[in-house]
Amino acid sequence: MAQLWGGRFTKETDKLVYNFNASISFDQKFYEQDIRGSKAHVAMLARQGILTAEEKDQIEAGLDGILADVRSGKLEITSEYEDIHSFVEANLIDRIGDAGKKLHTGRSRNDQVALDMKLYVRDEIDETDELVKKLLEALQKIMEENVHTYMPGFTHLQKAQPVTLAHHVGAYFEMFVRDRSRLADIRKRMNTCPLGAGALAGTTYPLDREYTAQLLGFDGPTRNSMDSVSDRDYVIELLSAFSTIMMHMSRFCEEIIMWNSNEYRFVEIDDAYSTGSSIMPQKKNPDIAELVRGKTGRVYGALTSILTTMKGIPLAYNKDMQEDKELTFDAIDTVKGCLALFTGMISTMQFNKQNMEASAKNGFTNATDAADYLVNHGVPFRDAHGIVGRLVLTCIDKGISLDELPLEEYKAISPVFENDIYEAISMKTCVEKRMTIGAPGPDVMEKVIAENKKYLEEN
C-alpha cells in the first residue's frame, strides 16, 4: 500500500478501507492524461522559477520514461498504489530521486484529477465525434442511392404517406448532426483548465495558470478555484449527449429489427452482423441491433447515476466525485462500441426495395393524394376526405389497393374522378409532387444530399 499521505497517521489503513478508497483499478485509464498534465505543470513551475531548469528536465525525462514503459507494458500499473496520481509520483521518485518529490509543488490531487478527467473527456469527445461522422457518411451513402426508393412513411406505426428511403434515413442524418453539435458545444464550454486551483483555494506559489492552460490546449484557466475542483457539469452534459446519441441509434435499431422481420422483409442484415439460434436452424437474429437498443439503458443509467451522485455534494471537493469515473468510462466504451457496430451494420445491410414499394402501395399511403386530387377539382377538402374514406372501405372489402380499383367504382362514389386519377396516386407522383423544403420529393432531396456533402467536407 503506497500512500502519499502517511505523515499524520499512526496506524496502517485497514485493508478493506484501502481497497474501498482506492481508485487505481479504474483511474489507471487516464495515465496518459495524468502525465500530460504533470509535464505542463512542471514546465510552468520552471518558467516561474519555482523549479530549476535542471529539475524540470529530470522530471520530464522521468515522466516520459514512465509513459513509454507503461505503453510498452514494461511497467505495470498495480493495485499497490492508491490511484494513478500516486502511481506516477511514486515511480518518478523511484526513477529520479529527490527532484521527483518536487512534482507536486503547488498542486493537489483535487485539481489534478479535475484536470485529468477533463483531458480524458475532451479526448473522448473528439474520438466519439469522429465515429458519429463515420456514421453520417454511411447514412449519406444510403441517401444518395435511394432518392427513388419508395416506402411507406408511418405514424402510430400505421402506414401513412409514401416517402423514400433517402428521406427516412435523412431524418436520422439530422439527428446525428445535432448530436455532433451537442458534443462540440460541450467541448467548448468545458475547455477551461482547472490546474492551479489546488485543493480548493488556489496556492501561494506564483503559478502562471494562463500558461499551463495554453500548454494543455485550453482556452484559458477556470475562474474560481472552488468550482474548479468540484465541477462535474461537463460529465453530466457528456452523458446527456451520449444518452441522446444512444436514443437515436436505438430508435433506428428498433426499425431495423422490424424491417428485418419476416413480416416486413424491408431489409436483410448481413450475415456478418447477425447471429443464429442454438435450437432453431432457420433463425438469423438481429442481435447487434437489439444490443445497441439494450445498451441505451446502460448509458441512461450512467447519466442518472452521476446526477444523483452530484446532487447533495457541498463545496468543494468530496470523495463522492470519484464515482464519476467508472460510469463515465463505461458509457464512453459503450457509445463508441455501439457507434462502430451500428455503422458497420447499416453499411452492409441490404434493402429490399421492391418489398418497400409494394408495402407503400398496399397500405393506402396514397389516400391523401386521392383526396388532394378531388380538392384540385374543386371539391372541399373535408368532403374529399369522406369520399376517399369510402373508397378505401371498398378497397379493403375487395382486398385491393386504390391503384387497382376500377374507374367505375371511383365514379360511383364521385363523378369528379377521371382516368388521370391513377397517375395522380401513383407512388412516383405522390413522392415527386412533395417538393416543399424538408419533403421527400427527389429535387428537394438532391439539394439536401448536396448540402450534407458540403457539411461532411467542412465539418
Residues labelled catalytic: 156, 277
Nearer to ligand ARG among residue 50 and residue 321 (C-beta): 321
Q: Which is nearer to ligand ARG, 313 or 358 (CB)?
A: 313
Q: Provide, rounded to whole angstroms, the least separation between the CB of residue 318 and ligand ARG.
A: 9
Minimum distance, C-beta of residue 23 to ligand ARG, in the bound complex (Å) = 4
- What the block records as the C-alpha cell of 174 is 439530422
Q: Report the relative pairing of strands 220-221 and 192-193 from DSSP bridges.
A: parallel
CB of 91 to ligand ARG, least distance (A): 17
Task: Mention every residue, 6+ apart, whose C-beta is less than 8 A from residue 459.
Answer: 133, 180
- Least Å distance, CB 83 to ligand ARG, is 4
State the Cα torsion 329-333-339-340 to the nearest 10°.
150
- Which of 4/439 has CB closer to ligand ARG? 4
213 vs 321, beta carbon nearer ligand ARG? 321
When the beta carbons of 247 and 313 are compared against ligand ARG, the nearer one is 313
> Closest CB to ligand ARG among 211 and 329?
329
Residues at the site binding ligand ARG, with contacts judged by CB under 6 A: 23, 27, 83, 109-110, 113, 317, 321-322, 325
Neighbours of 458 (CB within 10 A): 6
| Shortest reach from residue 131's CB to ligand ARG, in Å | 26
375 in Cβ contact with 384 (< 8 Å): yes
Cβ pair 455, 177 in contact under 8 A: yes
3-state secondary structure (DSSP) of residue 351: strand
On the CB side of 230, CA atoms within 13 Å amount to 19
CA quadruple 54, 74, 80, 30: dihedral sign: positive
With residues binned 3-state (H G I as helix, E B as strand, rest as coil), the percentages for the chain, rounded to 5, are 65, 5, 25
The residue whose grid cell reads 489534478 is 112
In 360-397, which positions are buried (b, 16+ CB within 10 angstroms) versus exposed (e)? bbbbbbbbbbbbbbbeeeebeeeebbbbbeebbeebee
Q: Nearest distance from residue 317's CB to ligand ARG, in Å?
A: 6
Q: Which residues pair with 163 in a beta bridge?
A: 151
